[in-house]
Amino acid sequence: MSTKITGVRALLDELAATDVSLEGGLIASLGEASHTADLVLHAEGCLLLPGIVDCHGDAFERHIMPRPGVAFDIDLALRDADRALLASGITTAFHGVTWSWEPGLRSAENARRLVERIATLKPELGADTRFHMRHETFNLDAEEEIASWLAEAARKAGVPTMSHDDMSPGMRRQHRALGIAIAEFPINEATAREAASAGEAIVFGAPNVLRGGSHTGCPAAEEMVRQGLCTILASDYYYPALALAPFLLAESGAASFATAWTLVSENPAAVLGLTDRGRITPGLRADLVIVRPAPTPRVVATIAGGRLVHLADPSLLGW
């Protein structure tokens, strides 16, 4: 299927007026295309942005268990979470599945079930949905099982690993010695600087940007971006934050809009080895978000793998 998007300002190196053509799930060309398309989206006044890559999100847990002790079928929850992801412009999602010693939502049994159901449902989900295992280091009873089917395979395959809540520069160095090269949610500026000194990716939460600071007393993400100590933003527990945070960072002067959007697209894609996405470049996967920027930025359409998977404004169809 071919698609043409007209009238947009697309985020290339900077925002630029252009038409974009898609073909076979890929970005085919930029600029006016002479050929007809199966689908034309008339996006005058909108921005066309690379699809969001969410390296860490656990908001899907609220779809499984919206209230304590009230659980729903996992397949139903994953399908519902997929719609929430797409409405937030997230085209690649790593579900942060916690394998803990706790019973219930974060139990070993539930983690095994999620591994199996994510793999089974993946072809029908709009977002490219992947599994991000969160192993609690004090969950000693699970180490042998987890190492046998994930950790060793990840090491051999070069799958990126992250440390969570590094508490000090020394702890960051310890994790680096283990081959863990991504610092996720360092809890103070000194630890973030330690990661930056080694050229490591540093992840903070997009909700932190929206709320004006951390709810746990960790560094303010906006200030970390301003100082060059944040290279990736993650949804953490709130999907809509990812599409809004770059606009707020640009508005506050913490970063240019082009730089701010790389925190949710190009940077996480590159760090996670997903070199086929994250930018609007011919030949790359057609993962795109159409945003109407005023009066408040709003995702009006999401395209994943060249397919229109979310549409919130029928006027894009010329209606």
245-254 residue pLDDT tens: 999 999 999 9
Q: Please say if the pLDDT value at position 314 is more than 70.
A: yes
Give the pLDDT score at 303: 98
Span 63-74, mean pLDDT?
92
Is 38 exposed, middle or buried, given 0-12, 13-18 or 19+ CB atoms closer than 10 A?
Answer: exposed
Q: Please say if the pLDDT value at position 308 is more than 80.
A: yes
* Residue 228: both structure tokens together: 């060059």
Residue 158 binned pLDDT confidence (cut-offs 50, 70, 90): confident
Residues of the chain with CATH 2.30.40.10: 2-48+279-317
Q: In what order do the strands lie in the sheet with 52-57?
A: 52-57, 90-99, 128-135
Residue 154 binned pLDDT confidence (cut-offs 50, 70, 90): low
| pLDDT > 70: percent of the chain | 94
Q: Please say if the pLDDT value at position 145 is more than 80.
A: no
Q: Comparing 68-82, 147-161, 255-269, which segment has the lowest mean pLDDT?
A: 147-161
Residue 97 binned pLDDT confidence (cut-offs 50, 70, 90): confident
Contact 38, 25 (CB under 8 A): no
Q: Please say if the pLDDT value at position 43 is more than 90.
A: yes
CATH class of 52-271: alpha beta
Q: Please say if the pLDDT value at position 143 is more than 70.
A: no
Span 86-96, mean pLDDT?
96
> How far apart are the C-alpha atoms of 285 and 280, rounded to whole Å?
9
Residue 40 amino acid letter: V
pTM: 0.92
Counting DSSP H helices and E strands in the chain, the numbers are 12, 15
> How far apart are the C-alpha atoms of 319 and 107, rounded to whole Å?
48
**21 sits in which H/E element:** strand 15-23
Residue 45 amino acid letter: G
Residue 194 phi, psi (nearest 5): -60, -45
Span 254-272, mean pLDDT?
97
Q: pLDDT per residue over 181-227, tens digit each?
A: 899 999 999 999 999 999 999 999 999 999 998 877 889 999 999 99
Span 274-294, mean pLDDT?
97
Residue 190 amino acid letter: A
**291 sits in which H/E element:** strand 288-292
Q: Please say if the pLDDT value at position 288 is more than 60.
A: yes
* Residue 3: both structure tokens together: 């698609």
Give the pLDDT score at 152: 57
Question: May I ask the CATH architecture of the domain 2-48+279-317?
Answer: Roll (2.30)
Span 269-274, mean pLDDT?
95
Residues of the chain with CATH 3.20.20.140: 52-271
Q: Comparing 35-39, 99-103, 129-133, 265-269, which segment has the lowest mean pLDDT?
A: 99-103
Max Cα distance, the chain (Å):
62
Report the mean per-residue pLDDT for the chain. Answer: 91
Q: pLDDT per residue over 105-140, tens digit each?
A: 888 888 889 989 999 999 999 999 998 877 766 666
Q: Comparing 33-42, 50-59, 125-134, 187-196, which segment has the lowest mean pLDDT?
A: 33-42
Q: Please say if the pLDDT value at position 149 is more than 60.
A: no
Query: Which is nearest to 185 in space by CA: 164, 171, 216, 170?
Result: 164
